[in-house]
Amino acid sequence: MQSAKGRRKVGSATAGAGIDSAEKLDELLISSAICNGEDLGPFVRKTFGTGKPETLLHHLKFFARSKESEIEEVCKAHYQDFIHAVDDLKSLLSDVESLKSALSDSNSKLQSVAAPLLSSLDALVEAQTVSKNVDLAIGAVTHCVRVMELVSRANQHLQSGNFYMALKCVDSIESDFMEKTPSSTLKRMLENRIPAIRSYVERKVNKEFGDWLVEIRVVSRNLGQLAIGEASAARQREEELRIKQRQAEEQSRLSLRDCVYALNEEEDDEFGSGHEGSDGGSSGGGLLGFDLTPLYRAYHIHQTLSLGDSFKQYYYNNRDLQLTSDFQVSTMTPFLESHQTFFAQIAGFFIVEDRVLRTGGGLISKLEVETLWDTAVTKMCAVLEDQFSRMQTANHLLLIKDYVSLLGVSLRRYGYAVDSLLEVLSKHRDKYHELLLSDCRKQITEAISADKFEQMLMKREYEYSMNVLSFQLQTTDIVPAFPFIAPFSTTIPDCCRIVRSFIEDSVSFMSHGGQLDFYDVVKKYLDRLLGEVLDEALLKLINTSVHGVPQAMQVAANMAVFERACDFFFRHAAHLSGVPLRMAERGRRHFPLTKSQNAAEDILSGMLKKKVDGFMSLLENVNWTSDDIPQGGNEYMNEVLMYLETLVSTAQHILPAKVLKRVLRDVIAHISEKIVGTLCGDLVKRLSMAAIKGLDVDIQLLDSFTENLTSLLTDKEAREMKKAFIEIRQMINLLLSSHPENFVNPVIRERSYNALDYRKVATVSEKFRDPSDSIFGTFGTRGSRQNPKNKSLDALIKRLKDVS
């Protein structure tokens, strides 16, 4: 076939030798593309582009004719194979017919044998199906029974109020049984009731929590009062312990032997152990026992309901509102009456919050508690500032200060910062003391105005202890016999009580306020009280109400007692301030009542001098030119000495010795000045020797009076007392001396006449000179010898005139 095809192609090429080469080439390309299965599109487009489609059709028809012979040959070859296949199928058909008959016979036999077996199998399948359904029913019933048991248990827990266990049952039903419950009715019931149960539990728990919020306010107030009361008791114990310690230190310092003192501190009571943690239900027992079970239960239930965070916020908001409500100060009740409730409520609030912070499992954070505390401190400071600015009574301010300081002590134990509160208290220190000084000024004025200038009579020992021993005014440790007449009037114990109260109030205000060393502050205001208030009141009393010697004497005696009282005041202030007495004594100043003391002694001296002046007026009756020496002294001196002796015998029972000495010295000095003034005055024109010797007798009597004061004066003090009339003594000695001109000798004058004024000496010497030696006396005695003493006096007078 291939050779024939080759021959046809050669014949075609030979026959078409006359066709041009281009058409030949196109025919070859088309034949090649068709044989290779290529796209004839380019040839079609080219043919139609040239406008000669006939050529392409011709080529295609030629190619189709060239392939017909090949197709014919292929069909012949395939036909033979088909004939053979038909023969094979016919032989197979006969075999199939024989097989069909055999299968039919086998099927009939099988049907006859398997029919009973199939009926048995059907019965078995049916029994298995029934068994399976029964098992499923039993499982469903068992599941429902377990669900109902949990439901019943949950109901029991709800009825008994055990909400947590009820919720655990509900959670178990929902997580373990809800999806597997075969009963659609039961499942719908559970789907409806479970949210309702949770809602019911939430409402009940919220109601309990709301009741707890109401109850905890009352509990907080009582708790705050109890805590502050315990702080007050602890402060009292500390004060007693410090007193014992100071007494031990003082005794140890004063004792010559070593002393060992054991100071047993009391252990903290239940209040001190209030920081110990407790379980979630109860906040411990004892003095600070308060029930937090409803709170923790509500928190736990809300955590179980997955509402823990919202409950935390709910709790914080409600407590914040409660705290804000606690800040409201009633305008209907004075703050003095309501301040304890106000501060106790806040103290209890934060004691509760401290316990919740430590045992609440994160119910409230430390930052939130600090935020609440900062708010509370700011509000309390504002309230204190406002109330303190309105107060005009020191005692009211002190009461509030003490309670606030106890509040600070109570809350500092729980770690709260109270410095801002203490700063507010310190800020009003000056105002408090000014009010206290004002109150004391009124009390002292009233006490002094009520004084009757009479010695105080004490009939019982307790009166002596209350008015003398309590202020350490005694001069001896021996208890006197009763009735006892004190050397002071009622003003002394009355004023001492006022000052002691001032010291105690001042120390009370300054102590427990964050400042440890406050003695200097207390001492400063004590100096003001004594120097400005008491001293001025006594000065006013002395200048306006003292009208007689007995009154002046009593006031002077009181001033001496005040001197001992002031020592007690400063010791008492140091004792209360915790300062050792030796340090307090080291910083002592002068007597703060010096002005009134000097005024009292001056007015007493002035009155005594006026009284003496009444007797000294008898100097006018003295005959200064007499030739007779008065025996027993002049009348004026005897009167004066009688008065002084009476004065001393009376004053010894009233005035302290040192005051009486000073007053006597002033009076005796006044007598001396009065005599010298009389000699230098116009009353005395001439002086005789007898008059001078009479004055010498008077001075000797005065000297004897001084020496007889042995019970009052020592020898040294007697010598000092005599210096009070040294001027008149030296004047008399000079006039009675043989050589009066020695006065101008500096050495002799310094030794024997240092108290004399040369002008007074010149005046008295001029009056004492013998008149016979004068210019007019020389006419009758011409040629006679001049008196040497008069000559010496003349020389003295001349020298003194030259000096002047």
Contact 690, 627 (CB under 8 A): yes
- Within 8 A by CB and 6+ apart from 198, the residues are 167, 170, 305
Cα separation, 615 vs 636, in Å, equals 6
Of 124-138, 265-279, 402-416, 474-488, give the lowest mean pLDDT range: 265-279
Q: Mean pLDDT of all residues in the chain? A: 79
Of 26-40, 53-67, 264-278, 353-367, give the lowest mean pLDDT range: 264-278
Is the model's pLDDT at 575 over the cut of 50?
A: yes
Cα separation, 166 vs 174, in Å, equals 12
Cα separation, 278 vs 292, in Å, equals 10
pLDDT at 46: 77
Is the model's pLDDT at 351 over the cut of 50?
A: yes
Is the model's pLDDT at 468 over the cut of 50?
A: yes
Closest CA to 417 of 365, 372, 386: 372
Q: What is the pLDDT of residues 690-706, one digit of tens each?
A: 888 888 888 888 888 88
Q: What is the pTM of this model?
A: 0.65
- Within 8 A by CB and 6+ apart from 674, the residues are 612, 613, 616, 619
Contact 259, 283 (CB under 8 A): no
Mean pLDDT to the nearest integer, 591-605: 87
pLDDT at 584: 63
pLDDT at 308: 85
Higher per-residue pLDDT: 639 or 34: 639
Is the model's pLDDT at 320 over the cut of 80?
A: yes
SS3 track for 658-685: HHHHHHHHHHHHHHHHHHHHHHHCCCCC
pLDDT at 6: 43
Tell me the range of 28-37, 274-283, 456-465, 579-588 where mean pLDDT is highest.
Answer: 456-465
Cα separation, 614 vs 406, in Å, equals 67
Higher per-residue pLDDT: 130 or 631: 130
pLDDT at 787: 56
Place of tokens 């009167």: 639
- Token readout for 214 is 């109401």
Mean pLDDT to the nearest integer, 514-541: 83
Place of tokens 């003003």: 491
Is the model's pLDDT at 336 over the cut of 70?
A: yes
Place of tokens 């509030």: 400
Cα separation, 669 vs 174, in Å, equals 117
Provide the sign of the torsion angle of the four alpha carbons 765, 768, 769, 771, taken in this order.
positive
Contact 329, 383 (CB under 8 A): yes
pLDDT at 780: 38
pLDDT at 373: 92
- Token readout for 583 is 């340090």
pLDDT at 771: 54
Cα separation, 121 vs 675, in Å, equals 168
Is the model's pLDDT at 15 over the cut of 60?
A: no
pLDDT at 515: 58
Q: What is the pLDDT of residues 427-438, one digit of tens each?
A: 888 888 888 898
According to DSSP, residue 654 is labeled T
Mean pLDDT to the nearest integer, 599-604: 88
DSSP secondary structure, 461-491, as one string:
HHHHHHHTGGGT--SSSSPPPSSEE-SS-TH
Q: Nearest 5°: phi and psi at 530?
A: -75, -45
pLDDT at 576: 81
pLDDT at 737: 82
- Within 8 A by CB and 6+ apart from 305, the residues are 167, 198, 201, 202
- State the CB neighbour count (10 A cutoff) for residue 356: 20
pLDDT at 789: 57
* Residue 798 banded pLDDT, cuts 50, 70, 90: low
Is the model's pLDDT at 279 over the cut of 50?
A: no
* Residue 246 banded pLDDT, cuts 50, 70, 90: low
